[in-house]
A and B are shown apart, each in its own frame.
Chain A
């Protein structure tokens, strides 16, 4: 469904390398893209995969690759290059058990930090996280839209359990957003490859190979794309890379919430664990427990406004995720001031609804 979403979003270029549990995306794109006038290609490694995608995007095509933790580790330098060169590209990271080569067929939600904090300089990488096949479809389109709109790399962070479980998808449950295209430069030359007047503005795009001269560089640069050191304009360009994301943070927020105005507990989750959490919340309510539910579909930028709305009146916040150290809980904690924060964590297997039910009951006591 990630591949279906990518095709619906207008993806015309895919380069991939085999890795469980992301190979299905690769195979579907290899099968479907050529006959739709696009290009899908096997790269000799993950570094090449993402470089090819970035090159194709510079040429003007919407591009995507798919991988898992080990391949993502190899892509990080190129991710930073895409960020610095303001090149739209989508990377589907299907998590599995780590560290290192870990467990190829074991699910996990352990790459949240590795995904978000992958850049030198600590820039925000927009990350969307689906919990169902239907969400894979819709959030992939959102990922493309934001990547194109903000000219920045965006990650779709899925996991083995979401990616490799075959499930029935009710087409009525899909709610794909309208497809967005990157804004193309239509003015008179000279064209500034990285031109903006306000730092939050996204520079208009012109393709390498088009009519106007484009100067792309991964080095610190001015708005023209000239390598410069210590110039105020260079620092301004660096600030702009973050400002353009920040300025759209609220608009990027996607969350599934199910709130009880009288709730004293809020269960927070994302990805595969959100499914167990929804089931747990339903079970608790049948027992009369007042509980709210918050599923972050946009993991980053942190959906602060939606979260704030869910926090009103709540005493306990329980964050359920399939990793050892509470990766998302840790980044949410600064926004949970005054609340009692409880982690529900596990590695090596799915968190069951029963575990979440128990944790909420324990918090009640």
Chain B
């Protein structure tokens, strides 16, 4: 073997006689020689299968031998890291078979979409060689394998076409015996983004045994599939991942900071833990009312926890928030026996019945419900308020909280002002109005539920 600073000069190729893998290894060595890249700038990332034996043949390259089908994903991870490292320069080269490409298909698709700077050498010998010659998704029609002894009857996946649809920047296909293969591999590695070279070859252990194949037969198979050979159409002009990542719109500003916890605006007179449930309908600002309430409580020096619940569809049905409020750190966050239950809509009413909240109310629980709703099947002191009609459905939950605080003044106005100040200026009017209306609401009927 000619002097090659990448490939071991005494490399004894561990492949069967006539196997295309040996040709690929030599072509890769020649391609690297053409490029004259620093030896430590290549990470040879090998998949499971006979292709995975290549590591030891390139003693000066970084080598990463991976799990089946995942070589592309590990290589992508390395190349992704490269994007934020200065100076970059690592180029992972993936060696994968058709079996690995099948199980790891999604990794190839995503790598192409990202245009991550890796080169994939797809060794397509139409079957799983190491495990006994089983067929893969890339096996040609009528091709005999251990698992398709009568010939393969599912049409093969054209991986190049699929990756073109995923916006791959560099695509090529060659026979392992093509003299031009090393030049193409060199171009692929030099390309500053995702590149894939599909290399068609024969497994001499199984492929030729069952299919009486020769080189010309291989060309026939390729022609029958309508496969083009050489450099193929791709989106070569795509921006690199580094460019794409740096060009990405800046992330949204972080949410407004919570009010300064160390210096409460004003101390709350609350001395014991309180548990509240606020229930209403999705889209009617139940959970955001609870969040604003918790911020006000924080401003008043209290500890709070808030747990939300809603149907998986998010935008329909009930919406509820469970709040604990305490002058001391809160441990248990559940709602065994709520102290206050605010019900702003029929959806919320139904959910509190379904999830057992009503059943867990005690005689001292305050049930503050919208005037249009039926009395709930719960113990407690019942109070009806015109939450929806007076305040509007989307203000009902916050109005309910404000109305309760008139009865139990745990949060001074300054705390509310501090909470409102954490909202952007254009989003303060609605909750301010809800608070104002809530404070003016008066119960039109009160009573004790059985």
Contact = CB atoms under 8 A, between A and B. Distances in A.
Interface centre among B56, B70, B302, B306 (most CB of A within 10 A): B70
A164 B307 contact: yes
A55 B77 contact: yes
Nearest to B301: A168
Contact of B40 (A213, A215, A350): A213
B225 interface: no
B80 A44 contact: no
A287 interface: no
A171 interface: yes
Main SS of chain B's interface residues? mixed
Given A51-B73, A104-B312, A279 B303 contact: no
Give the interface residue-count category, chain B. 35 or more
A51 B41 CA distance: 21
Main SS of chain A's interface residues? mixed
Interface in B82-107: 82-85, 89-90, 106-107
Interface stretch (A28-36, A110-118, A143-151, A337-345): A28-36
Contact of A161 (B41, B76, B109, B333): B333
A173 interface: yes
Contacts of A45: 106
Contacts of B77: 13, 15, 51-59, 63
A268 to B, nearest CB: 16
A203 B381 CA distance: 67
B194 to A, nearest CB: 14
A175 interface: no
Contacts of A164: 307-308
B250 interface: yes
A55 B84 contact: no
Contact of A48 (B110, B307, B332): B110
A209 B78 contact: yes
Interface in A146-201: 161, 164-168, 170-171, 173
Given A39-B83, A55-B77, A213 B261 contact: no
Interface stretch (A216-224, A258-266, A311-319, A328-336): A216-224
Contacts of B107: 44, 48, 51
A39 B80 contact: yes
A45 B105 CA distance: 12
Given A209-B90, A275-B333, A167 B303 contact: yes
Nearest to A355: B336
Interface stretch (B27-35, B58-66, B203-211): B58-66
B138 to A, nearest CB: 20
Contact of B76 (A55, A78, A218, A272): A55
Contact of A218 (B43, B66, B308, B336): B66
Interface string B358-378: 000000000000000000000
A35 B246 CA distance: 10
Contact of A170 (B62, B309, B329): B329
A353 interface: yes
A20 to B, nearest CB: 8
B334 interface: yes
29 contacts: A34-B245, A34-B251, A38-B84, A39-B81, A44-B107, A45-B106, A48-B106, A51-B76, A55-B73, A55-B77, A55-B78, A59-B77, A59-B78, A59-B81, A78-B70, A104-B312, A105-B309, A161-B333, A168-B304, A171-B262, A209-B78, A216-B64, A217-B65, A218-B65, A227-B65, A276-B332, A276-B334, A352-B332, A353-B332
Interface of A: 12-13, 15, 30-32, 34-35, 37-39, 41, 43-45, 47-48, 51-61, 63, 77-78, 81, 104-105, 161, 164-168, 170-171, 173, 208-219, 225-227, 272, 275-276, 278-279, 349-350, 352-354
Given A13-B77, A51-B70, 19 more contacts: A13-B84, A31-B254, A32-B254, A39-B81, A59-B77, A61-B85, A161-B307, A164-B307, A165-B306, A166-B294, A167-B303, A171-B261, A208-B62, A209-B40, A209-B41, A209-B43, A211-B40, A217-B65, A275-B331
